[in-house]
Copies of this chain bind each other. A is one copy, B any other.
Amino acid sequence: MTDQPETSEVQMNGAESLVRTLIGCGVDTCFSNPGTSEMHFVAALDHVPGMRSVLALFEGVATGAADGYFRMTRKPACTLLHLGPGLANGLANLHNAKKAGSGVVNIVGEHAASHVELDAPLTSDIAGIAGPVSHWVHSSGQAADVARDGARAVQAAKTHPGQIATLILPSDTAWTPGGPVARPLPEVAQTPIAPERIDDAVAALDGPDSLLLLGGAALSAENLEMAGRIAARTGCAVLSEWSNARVERGLGRVPVCKVPYPIDMALETLARYRRIVLIGARAPIGFFAYPGKPAVLTHPDARIVALADTGADLGAALAMLCDGVGALCMTAAVGTPGDISMPDGAITPESIAAVLALAIPENAIVVDESVTTGRAFFAATEGAAPHSWLNNCGGSIGFGLPVAVGAATACPDRKVLALIGDGSAMYTIQALWSMAREQQDVTIVIFSNRSYEILRGELTNVGVQNPGPRAVDMLSLNRPDLGWVSMAQGLGVEATRVEDCAALAHALRAGLSSQGPYLIEAVM
């Protein structure tokens, strides 16, 4: 593929050639927190139409939003980040995006090459910072290369299932005449599926001691439908990983339970399976290691058939498997309305789950960072109206609010419901302002238990049965209590505080029936 210079383009600078290339490659949304070294990129955004810019007040919001955007659109957005420290602030949510298989194109400004040598205050090893969270890192050498480098970055970000591509843009390559615009590069092929693995998988799935374990794109509605047929034919169980980038679920869809997070429950759940077929999932391991407990969660005698990893065409893998077991004509069991009545009284993990099951609107996007509070939510909402469910796949908290920004940017016609622990919400609280600015239709429930509750359990897991005051204090978010309504209002978001189930249900109706962001502090 060659790029023919066009007369009108030869005078554009590198930044403009990059913006035009990104747009031409289908990247039309930029989550940004720019600085001086990105001013030429900002100037190009100003006069080149076609790129929507969403401003974040902290970079972790921008990178998390790009993750949420990809999950809902299957196409990468770009981020605009200021030098190494700006990238660093976005790193934790890039870690989460990487583990979720989301594609993101990071544009990171850098000093001019001659200035890097001088070691100015903001100089840092940007490529070094990017490396641990990126599949692809490149620094443009000259303005004439920038457009092609941008096309390469998009190609990398679109590599299945999605990858983190970081393009470092020295300011001299941004301001020097560059161009021409580069055309999109061809898509990288998906991982092939070995035919003999299909035969292995067909042989493995037989009866209730066999398991089809799903992850990634295998959790779309139509792929789950095929998994349901396979289960109906073979009698195998179907589970998903604990954390999933996106599951399509609810009434009329094939339900799928998750491998539990707590290590003892996970071991118990998986102990019964002797043959496990993986499609888009990895062999189950513990989230953490614990003294005296196994890290590999499956039975020692379990035989594992890794049929297709997340880079493969998981729909094709399921179709071949469905055909192989003779399930094409089967009918999958689907979710039915749950027998759930509106709870009253105190707000507890169980009562919230029931309220949510009744409240989730049709076609909603649920962003779940409810941590300890939310462990019962998933099962309870199996029969709720059809919806998408997004988990934190990298375990770095502070993921939920930014991902909600990205999901709402991607799907302005869908309701977004963000379920966030209070500890988690504080890492990237700045996301509320972006929701207010963009008037995004997001209802946020903050589970205010005033504690890193998960860590109290983990302290017990590591053998501390009676923690003293210093340890308890390091896991407590009281002293002072966080005032979620005040914080939200300060960030431009309407908010209310509820202390019982009836008030929670009422507030959820109010939030979900209004336009714009709405925050509910659920006091536990």
Binding site for B on A (CB under 8 A): 32, 34-37, 39-40, 42-43, 45-47, 53, 55, 57-58, 60, 83-86, 88-89, 91-92, 95-96, 99, 111-112, 114-115, 118-122, 124-125, 128-129, 131-133, 171-172, 175, 243, 282, 285-289, 291, 295-296, 393-396, 398, 423, 426-427, 429-430, 433, 436-437, 454-455, 458-459, 461-464, 467-471, 473-475, 477, 479-492
How many copies of this chain?
Answer: 2
A sample of 16 inter-chain contacts (CB < 8 A) reads A36-B461, A42-B474, A43-B459, A43-B467, A45-B470, A46-B467, A53-B474, A89-B91, A111-B289, A112-B289, A118-B296, A120-B288, A122-B396, A124-B133, A172-B289, A487-B487
The residue in chain B whose Cβ has the minimal distance to the Cβ of A55 is: B474
| Given A423-B57, A426-B430, A483:B492 Cβ within 8 A | yes
B295 and A115 contacting across the interface, CB-CB below 8 Å: yes
| Given A111-B289, A288-B111, A462-B40, A46:B468 Cβ within 8 A | yes
A288 to B35, CA, bound (A): 11
A90 to chain B, nearest CB (A): 9
A447 to chain B, nearest CB (A): 15
B289 and A114 contacting across the interface, CB-CB below 8 Å: yes
Contacts A39-B461, A129-B129 known; 7 new A-B pairs at CB < 8 A: A43-B459, A43-B463, A46-B470, A128-B132, A171-B289, A175-B462, A175-B463
Give the residues in chain B near A46, CB-CB below 8 Å: 464, 467-471
A523 to chain B, nearest CB (A): 14
Give the residues in chain B near A291, CB-CB below 8 Å: 172, 175
A239 to chain B, nearest CB (A): 17
Give the residues in chain B near A484, CB-CB below 8 Å: 490
A524 to chain B, nearest CB (A): 18
A121 and B483 contacting across the interface, CB-CB below 8 Å: no
| Cross-interface CB contact of A473 among B55, B132, B282, B467, cutoff 8 Å | B55
A286 to B131, CA, bound (A): 28
A454 to B39, CA, bound (A): 11
The residue in chain B whose Cβ has the minimal distance to the Cβ of A46 is: B471
A313 to chain B, nearest CB (A): 23
Give the residues in chain B near A125, CB-CB below 8 Å: 131-132
| Given A60-B89, A487-B491, A480:B55 Cβ within 8 A | no
Give the residues in chain B near A35, CB-CB below 8 Å: 455, 458
A15 to chain B, nearest CB (A): 10
B112 and A124 contacting across the interface, CB-CB below 8 Å: no
| Cross-interface CB contact of A131 among B128, B295, B487, B492, cutoff 8 Å | B128
B487 and A121 contacting across the interface, CB-CB below 8 Å: no
A492 to B433, CA, bound (A): 20
A85 and B89 contacting across the interface, CB-CB below 8 Å: no
B43 and A464 contacting across the interface, CB-CB below 8 Å: yes
The residue in chain B whose Cβ has the minimal distance to the Cβ of A242 is: B121
A133 to chain B, nearest CB (A): 7
A464 and B394 contacting across the interface, CB-CB below 8 Å: no
Give the residues in chain B near A124, CB-CB below 8 Å: 95, 132-133
Give the residues in chain B near A36, CB-CB below 8 Å: 288, 454-455, 458, 461
A442 to B459, CA, bound (A): 33
Give the residues in chain B near A115, CB-CB below 8 Å: 285-286, 288-289, 295
Give the residues in chain B near A473, CB-CB below 8 Å: 53, 55
Q: Which of A286, A396, A477 counts the most chain B CB atoms within 10 A?
A: A396
| Given A121-B99, A429-B429, A462-B175, A295:B114 Cβ within 8 A | yes
| Cross-interface CB contact of A129 among B43, B91, B121, B171, cutoff 8 Å | B91
B480 and A121 contacting across the interface, CB-CB below 8 Å: no
Give the residues in chain B near A92, CB-CB below 8 Å: 85-86, 88-89
| Given A286-B115, A433-B480, A437-B479, A474:B45 Cβ within 8 A | yes
| Cross-interface CB contact of A121 among B133, B171, B395, B423, cutoff 8 Å | B395
B121 and A398 contacting across the interface, CB-CB below 8 Å: no
A456 to chain B, nearest CB (A): 10
A50 to chain B, nearest CB (A): 11
Give the residues in chain B near A396, CB-CB below 8 Å: 83, 85-86, 88, 122
The 3 closest A-B pairs by CB, nearest first: A480-B492, A486-B490, A85-B396
A155 to B297, CA, bound (A): 41
A88 and B84 contacting across the interface, CB-CB below 8 Å: no
Q: Which of A286, A455, A474, A487 counts the most chain B CB atoms within 10 A?
A: A474
A305 to chain B, nearest CB (A): 19
B120 and A426 contacting across the interface, CB-CB below 8 Å: no
Give the residues in chain B near A32, CB-CB below 8 Å: 474
The residue in chain B whose Cβ has the minimal distance to the Cβ of A476 is: B55
